[in-house]
Amino acid sequence: MRRRRGQVWCTSTVPLSESLDFWHDAVLATLVGMDISAEGGTYVGTMRVDHIGDLQLSTVECDPGVVHRSPRFIARGDGRDVFAAVLTRGLAQVEQDGRSTEMRPGDVVFFETVRPFLTRFPQRFQLKIFAVPRDLLGLPDADLSKITARSLRPAAGLGAVLSPFMSRLADTSESYAQPVADQLADTAVHLLAAAAAQQLGDEPSSLPGADRVLLLRIHRYIRWHLSDPELSPETIARAHHISVRYVHRLFEAEGTTVSRWVRALRMQECRRELTDAAARSVSVGSVARRWGFTSTSHFGRAFRREYGTSPTEWLHDERGRRPVEEER
């Protein structure tokens, strides 16, 4: 499935007198229906929306105001997702399910869209909102009602991992190719599920998913260091302050090995680059080295095992197909 690329909504595209109505329509079209009030009846806001995997990511930067998800909007039936939001600038006061919390920069808060909530923004703010299909969190409605309006602070623990990850992913979402975007979306969902479980009262060290969260951190580390030919179970273990044996155990629980997982990722990136580069001159050896293979012959054998053809033949076939595709 092709990725839907980003969309931007900005009040500067309409007269100031129409800005608040425009913003109401933009929020209704991209998030859910909400009442939005602001001093003076005008509003200055920008919203960028992107999709990765099953997630919608929305970055909103707006004037001070009050946002109310009221029963009249809930009755429309548009509350299909749970929102997880990280505040990156400003302050917010959130109320839902009989609780109230203050959001400060870096805090993460869950919003349930099938029940009313109220959020006050006393100053201009930036909020990054992840719309998560509720079934992906694996929580019954009774538990979802317990995690709203509770700030997860970024100072330590899971919040220290989740907050910067969400913020950075929202900022860079458009830069990822489909396979990487899907993997990052999965990582985000698992981290949010772990955060939700923690909000329900479990200690991070005793969470059933604690190993899973660590494994996802290792997955991210591997992706960031995929081009390093020295990447190994030893370097991974050292970077995460755990034993090599523990690294192997984490991957065994997933039915794979470290080397197999790294090799599969490298092969995907090499194939993608060879496909993208089919219209221009490219060296198979340079592609292999760029993704951590130290030997062109080793890369060739691995590529043939994985895809049933050599990288040179793959590149030749892609070049043969390219004129036909461009004519279409």
How do beta strands 81-89 and 45-52 pair?
unpaired
pLDDT number for residue 100: 93
Report, as an integer, the average pLDDT of 292-303: 83
Helix (H) or strand (E) holding 169: helix 157-172
pLDDT computed for residue 24 by the predictor: 93
Expressed in angstroms, the distance from the first to the final Cα of the chain is 19
Q: What is the mean pLDDT of the chain?
A: 85
How far is it, in rounded angstroms, from Cα 112 to Cα 190? 18
Band (206; pLDDT cuts 50, 70, 90): very low
Residues whose CB is less than 8 angstroms from the CB of residue 275 and which lie 6 or more positions away in sequence, other chains included: 314, 318
- The yes-or-no verdict on residue 3 having pLDDT over 50 is no
Please report the pLDDT score of residue 67 as a whole number.
Answer: 96
CB atoms within 10 A of CB 208: 9
Q: What is the pLDDT of residue 301?
A: 84
| 140: number of Cβ within 10 Å | 9
Q: What is the mean pLDDT of residues 241-254?
A: 86
**What pLDDT shows up at residue 282?**
67
What's the pLDDT at 258? 92
**Residue type at 168 in one-letter notation:** R
**pLDDT band at residue 265 using 50, 70 and 90 as cut-offs:** confident
The predicted model scores a pTM of: 0.63
Q: For residue 129, what pLDDT is reported? A: 98
3-state helix, strand, coil in the chain (%, to 5): 50, 20, 30
Band of the pLDDT at 325, cuts 50, 70, 90? Answer: very low
With vertex at residue 53, the alpha carbon angle to CA 48 and CA 58, rounded to the nearest 5 degrees, is: 20
Residue 232: band (very low, low, confident or very high) from pLDDT cuts 50, 70, 90: very high
Give the model's pLDDT for residue 315.
75
Identity of the residue numbered 244 = V
Q: What is the pLDDT of residues 115-168, one digit of tens each?
A: 999 999 999 999 999 999 988 887 888 888 999 999 999 887 788 889 999 999
Does position 316 have pLDDT exceeding 80, yes or no?
A: no
Spatial CB neighbours of 23, under 8 Å, sequence gap ≥ 6 = 9, 11, 36, 43, 45, 62
Residue 4 pLDDT greater than 60, yes or no: no
Phi and psi at residue 130, to the nearest 5°: -105, 115
Lowest mean pLDDT among 116-130, 246-260, 263-277: 263-277
What average pLDDT does range 258-269 have in this prediction? 86
Provide the pLDDT for residue 53. 87
